[in-house]
Structure 1
């Protein structure tokens, strides 16, 4: 591998010992904290389907959010470089995961639905094409083994 390597240290601290540790499947909470340097901690848990806290972020949501954020960051940068003025961006992304009978599972698809507000004189065709380029460049999308699709809407 050639090129510049980046390193991302993250600490996950389980906070769900309710006194008996993992003595039984129902004896512990799935809660944890996600830390990276001096940034505010993210409160995590598992999906509520797996006894997690619905008020906390789960890994599946964080994966979908990472794909969405990566695409957005590339897209905005590409637009800035191409002279296309974006004034607002919101993505209602969704991910689908299949759980197998034995408990293992995997994501089968993520769909990004960015709603992009452009300046009045923007080239909408060029703006649409840059979503394809953003997808080709997104570090996270290039790292997963399932389809990541985008259905942009322009305002």
Structure 2
């Protein structure tokens, strides 16, 4: 039997300037995401859509979710395969295409993990495990667009 996990968050729009959505330019796109026991995330739409550039937007959070899920699976797989990771960063990139009607969708994401492993670790296996992490990541498995990865592995 499949195990089920449930996640909860509270989204609260904070952008009412007094007249609600009476006009497209009369309201802000700010919102707060509250998850019990965690710091509040300050969100907004992308600046291209009248949003506040100092706040997280949904597109940024989607890419960050893909990247962090991959990293967590990768670190787990390295640990159980006796590969010691000492540093990890990922300058990930995603592409979203806008449609004439104003809708849009992500068409791809590319993870670019830059990983440092100890000299005694297997570099070839470390590279392979990115493919496995891509298969295991809950978030990646839920997307309907391709997610590639171009890892860089170095030893220290």
Distance 1:90 1:32 in 2: 28
Paired residue for 1:94?
93
Distance 1:95 1:20 in 2: 35
Paired residue for 1:132?
131
TM-score for the superposition, normalised by structure 1: 0.98
Paired residue for 2:121?
122
The answer on 1:66 being equivalent to 2:41 is no
Paired residue for 1:51?
50
Moved over 4 A (4+): none
Distance 2:16 2:64 in 1: 28
SS in 2 for 1:154: strand
Cα shift at 1:114: 0.4
Equivalenced residues, count = 154
Distance 2:74 2:2 in 1: 22
Cα shift at 1:120: 1.0
Distance 1:68 1:29 in 2: 29
TM-score for the superposition, normalised by structure 2: 0.97
Paired residue for 1:151?
150
RMSD of aligned C-alpha atoms? 0.6
Provide, for residues 98-142 of structure 1, a one-character-per-residue CA deviation record: whole Å limited to 9, x for no partner.
Answer: 010100110000000000000011100000000000000000000
SS in 2 for 1:140: helix
Cα shift at 1:57: 0.4
Distance 1:35 1:144 in 2: 24
5+ residue gaps, structure 1, are: none
Paired residue for 1:34?
33
SS in 2 for 1:106: strand
